[in-house]
């Protein structure tokens, strides 16, 4: 064979029919993307990671056809799983992209060897056909083509369902289109039809509508089986609509559903074509559009929701589609569409007409409740949502949302009434909270329900239940921290009321846990309510001795560096300082006590302490000094100096006008300070 002929020959030549027939046999089971055994998102991602490792191991190992074939079969299985997850809109994008990259890498490993083999033959002016008939060539070619087929569908599905970057989306679609073109010359008819479908879909997604129309019509001329024929006609209608050839699309969509055995997707396509015509001003198609939408709405939840999306996206006023007497399900969709557009006056009129139909009463109540809530009528909304939850099927997809709206309606009605502790409205509010948490425990706003339940329990003195509810709050960081603080506070109040050491121990543990949570959030640079942490630490310090049999060291441990850690407001800082002072006093740690007093007196927070409290402290210090004088004169002197510092502070506050002292009291206090700072006290 001449070098020039070899250089012009493509890598995959049509002269090699036996190879293509073998390829068709291998790909026979792959002609349509099917769902693999059910993999959830996490398992799909895990298996893709395993595949990546296997592919790297095979790349480093000697050629083994059976093992390489097993590797491509693993890619097939994960591709099936990808398509199934894509159908459910549950694709983990990162893992799906790594699957594509791995499949491409494996295929390049095969094709690079084939390209080198071809280049070597060309360089030696050898017999290319003999090389192409060798096992080394045929095995790699077979696996490479099998992977290319899979990659075409992976790239297409990823581009239209996952990819958001327009440039990368276009590259994926172009690669899929060009990949499908490799199979257009296949000798196996079914594979050729599949290739035309894929090529046309990629062209349509690239807005190459005329090319897509040509592909779909060419595939239909190949006499596909009935299921494939329907898929092709649906794709053709979509392409015709996109290219503005509305009348052709309408005629084809009419034929699509004329057999009486049309699929739900065919009815969806028919409804879309009819609404496109109605949007363009062809009102004569309104009856047909109502019929198609009504049919679609009765084909299960997926297609009911699809009909709703068509109505919502239509430029036609939804009211024109309503027919309460002859098409009640469609009319409900219209009323819902009007409600979402905040046209509640019109939607309420339709809901009221539908409410007389037993099977639609719950759905109508949902819509009426939502409109009442939008209109600022929470009591009316509360009644409608209560009815909805009582009447709706347990499988009704609106139950969770309805339970949440019930909570919001009850919340607003309860607040407007002044949040009474008892009475009918209070009980309905409480039931609404519990109904929401029962019906929608995984709702994104479940934390709101737990927070409201915690508030309810606290107001009604149910302190243990208060803690349990607040502990379940897991939402925005600020709200979560506040809830966890309030829950710990409920345990602290319970411990104060009961006097039970076990309750005190539980409260201290909860308060400590809250402070630790606060510290973690602060380290993560999140917004954290430091005052709550300061209050929690102070409460834990107060309760610590009750939880430990009167041991005071736990209190001092919690008060260590309190002001530096939490930067508390003056009132809390003063309470912490006085608690530290009284604890050191009880422990008889006189040097530390005097230092704590001196430090506190230099702070602004000391001004929040009443003068009588300071006077009592000074008197206690003087008396303790007198008791210590005979045995511990040094410690007695320390306490007298501390007392003198307190009295000097009171005189200074009087001088600044912050404290009222008459002249006689001032002079007596000054003499006392002099005596305290002297060697002894008068008898």
Domain that holds residue 627: 588-683
Within a domain: 252: no
- Residue 327, C-beta contacts closer than 8 angstroms, at least 6 positions apart: 290, 293, 294
Half-sphere exposure of 79 (CA within 13 A, CB side): 28
Within a domain: 648: yes
Within a domain: 596: yes
Contact status, residue 659 vs residue 611, Cβ threshold 8 Å? yes
Contact status, residue 106 vs residue 71, Cβ threshold 8 Å? yes
Q: What does the pLDDT read at residue 683?
A: 40
Q: What is the mean pLDDT of each run of 10 residues along the chain (683 residues)?
A: 30 39 42 56 94 95 93 94 89 93 94 87 78 85 92 96 95 96 91 95 97 97 94 96 95 92 94 96 95 94 94 93 93 96 96 94 97 97 97 92 97 95 95 96 95 97 96 92 95 94 95 91 62 93 91 92 91 95 94 94 92 92 93 93 92 85 86 80 45
Long-range contacts of 220-224 (CB under 8 A, 24+ apart): 222/189, 222/192, 222/193, 222/196, 223/189, 224/190, 224/193
Q: Within a 10 A sphere around the Cβ of 329, how many other Cβ atoms?
A: 20
- pLDDT tens digit sequence for 42-59: 999 999 999 999 999 999
162 CB burial (10 A radius; 0-12, 13-18, 19+) = middle
Q: What does the pLDDT read at residue 405?
A: 97
Within a domain: 245: no
Q: Within a 10 A sphere around the Cβ of 170, how many other Cβ atoms?
A: 15
Within a domain: 641: yes
Contact status, residue 239 vs residue 204, Cβ threshold 8 Å? yes
Least Cα distance to 183 among 160, 159, 151, 213 occurs for: 151
Contact status, residue 272 vs residue 240, Cβ threshold 8 Å? no
Q: How far apart are CA 258 and CA 252, in angstroms?
A: 10
Q: What does the pLDDT read at residue 330?
A: 95
Q: What does the pLDDT read at residue 209?
A: 97
Within a domain: 669: yes
Contact status, residue 289 vs residue 321, Cβ threshold 8 Å? yes
Q: Give pTM, 2 decimals.
A: 0.75
Q: What does the pLDDT read at residue 16?
A: 39
Number of structural domains, the chain? 1
Within a domain: 657: yes
At residue 127, the 3 state secondary structure works out as coil
Contact status, residue 446 vs residue 433, Cβ threshold 8 Å? no
Q: Token pair for residue 249?
A: 């699309």
Within a domain: 637: yes
């Amino acid at each position: 064979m001449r070098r020039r002929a070899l250089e012009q020959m493509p890598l995959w030549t049509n002269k090699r029919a036996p190879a293509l027939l073998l390829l068709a046999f291998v790909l026979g089971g792959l002609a349509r993307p099917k769902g693999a055994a059910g993999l959830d998102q996490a398992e799909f991602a895990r298996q893709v990671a395993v595949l990546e490792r296997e592919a790297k191991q095979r790349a480093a190992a000697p050629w083994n056809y059976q093992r390489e074939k097993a590797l491509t079969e693993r890619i097939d299985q994960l591709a099936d799983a990808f398509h199934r997850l894509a159908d459910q809109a549950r694709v983990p994008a990162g893992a799906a992209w790594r699957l594509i990259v791995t499949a491409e890498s494996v295929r390049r490993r095969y094709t690079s060897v084939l390209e080198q083999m071809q280049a070597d033959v060309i360089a030696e002016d050898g017999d290319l056909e003999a090389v192409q008939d060798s096992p080394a060539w045929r095995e790699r070619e077979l696996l490479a083509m099998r992977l290319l087929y899979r990659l075409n569908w992976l790239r297409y599905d990823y581009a239209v369902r996952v990819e958001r970057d327009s440039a990368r989306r276009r590259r994926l679609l172009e690669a899929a289109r060009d990949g499908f073109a490799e199979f257009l010359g296949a000798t196996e008819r079914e594979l050729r039809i599949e290739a035309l479908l894929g090529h046309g879909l990629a062209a349509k997604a690239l807005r190459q509508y005329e090319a897509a129309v040509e592909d779909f019509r060419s595939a239909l001329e190949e006499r596909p089986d009935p299921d494939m024929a329907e898929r092709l006609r649906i794709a053709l209608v979509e392409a015709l609509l996109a290219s503005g050839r509305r009348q052709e699309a309408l005629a084809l969509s009419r034929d699509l559903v004329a057999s009486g055995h049309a699929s739900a997707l065919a009815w969806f396509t028919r409804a879309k074509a009819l609404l496109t015509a109605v949007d363009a001003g062809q009102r004569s198609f309104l009856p047909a559009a109502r019929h198609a939408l009504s049919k679609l709405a009765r084909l299960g939840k997926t297609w009911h929701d699809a009909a709703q999306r068509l109505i919502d996206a239509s430029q036609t006023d939804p009211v024109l589609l309503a027919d309460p007497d002859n098409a009640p399900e469609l009319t409900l969709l219209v009323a819902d569409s009007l409600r979402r557009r905040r046209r509640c006056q019109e939607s309420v009129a339709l809901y009221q007409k539908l409410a007389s139909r037993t099977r639609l009463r719950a759905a109508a109540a949902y819509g009426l409740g939502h409109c009442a809530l939008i209109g600022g009528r929470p009591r009316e909304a509360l009644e409608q949502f209560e009815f909805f939850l009582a009447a709706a099927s347990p499988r009704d997809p609106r139950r969770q949302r309805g339970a949440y709206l019930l909570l919001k309606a009850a919340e607003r009605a309860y607040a407007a009434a002044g949040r009474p502790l008892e009475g009918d409205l209070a009980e309905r509010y409480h039931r609404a909270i519990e109904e929401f948490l029962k019906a929608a425990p995984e709702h994104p706003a479940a934390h709101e329900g737990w927070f409201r339940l915690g508030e309810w329990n606290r107001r009604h003195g149910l302190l243990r239940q208060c803690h349990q509810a607040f502990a379940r709050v897991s939402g925005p960081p600020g709200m979560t921290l506040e809830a966890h603080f309030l829950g710990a506070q409920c345990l602290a109040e319970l411990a104060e009321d009961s006097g039970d050491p076990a309750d005190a121990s539980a409260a201290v543990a909860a308060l400590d846990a809250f402070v630790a949570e606060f510290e973690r959030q602060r380290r993560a640079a999140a917004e954290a309510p430091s005052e709550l942490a300061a209050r929690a630490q102070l409460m834990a310090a107060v309760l610590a001795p009750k939880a430990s049999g009167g041991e005071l060291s736990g209190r001092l441990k919690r008060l260590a560096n309190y002001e530096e850690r939490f930067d508390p407001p003056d009132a809390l800082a003063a309470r912490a300082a006085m608690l530290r002072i009284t604890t050191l006093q009880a422990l008889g740690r006189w040097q530390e006590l005097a230092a704590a007093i001196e430090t506190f007196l230099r702070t602004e927070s000391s001004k929040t302490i009443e003068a009588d409290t300071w006077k009592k402290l000074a008197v206690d210090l003087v008396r303790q000094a007198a008791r210590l004088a005979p045995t511990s004169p040094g410690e007695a002197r320390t306490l007298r100096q501390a007392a003198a510092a307190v009295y000097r502070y009171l005189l200074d506050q009087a001088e600044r006008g912050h404290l009222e002292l008459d002249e006689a009291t001032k002079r007596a206090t000054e003499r006392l300070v002099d005596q305290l700072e002297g060697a002894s006290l008068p008898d």
